[in-house]
Chain A
Amino acid sequence: KAGVTQTPRYLIKTRGQQVTLSCSPISGHRSVSWYQQTPGQGLQFLFEYFSETQRNKGNFPGRFSGRQFSNSRSEMNVSTLELGDSALYLCASSPDANTEAFFGQGTRLTVV
């Protein structure tokens, strides 16, 4: 069974640009969550999607958005990038209730 796949693995963008990150969950998993990880801040919850609906959202500005497709694949978008958006963005999938989440290797975003 393939794991959670995130693309790209590494990304360098300039301030003001926008970026789209992709996540393919484990087959059969309908819940996809996104997290931002920075040193000292742990994993901060961005949002969760289930069957194409956003069910929960963390405390991030509106520049951060996401969506989920009918095949459960998910994308997150960050517009008007700031230096502080540099982080590891992790995607996790689970069958439903997030009792056990499976994480991808993440996308390392650097904003210069």
Chain B
Amino acid sequence: GQSLEQPSEVTAVEGAIVQINCTYQTSGFYGLSWYQQHDGGAPTFLSYNALDGLEETGRFSSFLSRSDSYGYLLLQELQMKDSASYFCAVNQAGTALIFGKGTTLSVSS
């Protein structure tokens, strides 16, 4: 079968750095994606890692280790607007995104 594990909740203060981990078990692994979803909104794409290593996009970075079936999303210089749910998703065989249950990030001032 397939499964993804990520923490259900994370809290932090403005300006801090937060790391959201994701471990996965799946067949047909193509890559790991991260999506952000604000309350009442649609999920939006943040990053995609097909190869091992770190991908940086502004304040957000994502890391993948295929040998460890592990990845993380790193959010730096946290802002209140970063309060949202964050989902890791495995790209399975290029035909499906299998999502974790999401991590709710609460940023306080």
Chain B residue contacts of A56, Cβ below 8 A: 92-93, 95-96
Count of B interface residues, CB-CB < 8 Å: 24
Q: Mark B67-109, 1 if CB is under 8 A from A, else 0.
A: 0000000000000000000010101111111111110000000
Count of A interface residues, CB-CB < 8 Å: 27
- Cross-chain contact B42 with A35 (CB below 8 angstroms): no
> Contacts A42-B102, A90-B43: A33 and B96 contacting too (C-beta < 8 A)?
yes
> Contacts A42-B102, A98-B91, A100-B48: A48 and B96 contacting too (C-beta < 8 A)?
yes
Chain A proximity of B81: nearest CB distance (Å): 19
Chain B residue contacts of A44, Cβ below 8 A: 99
Partner of B97, one of A55, A101, A104: A101
Q: For chain B, what secondary structure do more than half of its interface residues adopt (helix, strand, loop), or is it mixed?
A: strand
Chain B residue contacts of A33, Cβ below 8 A: 96-97
Q: For chain A, what secondary structure do more than half of its interface residues adopt (helix, strand, loop), or is it mixed?
A: strand
**Taking beta carbons and an 8 Å cutoff, which residues of A are in contact with B?**
31, 33, 35, 40-45, 48, 50, 55-56, 58, 90, 92, 96-106
Q: List 10 A-B contacts (CB under 8 A).
A: A33-B97, A42-B100, A44-B99, A56-B93, A90-B42, A97-B95, A98-B30, A99-B33, A100-B33, A101-B45
CA gap between A35 and B102 in the complex, in Å? 14
Partner of A42, one of B31, B45, B96, B99: B99
Partner of B95, one of A42, A50, A105: A50
The residue among A33, A35, A42, A103 with the most chain B CB atoms within 10 A of its own CB is A42
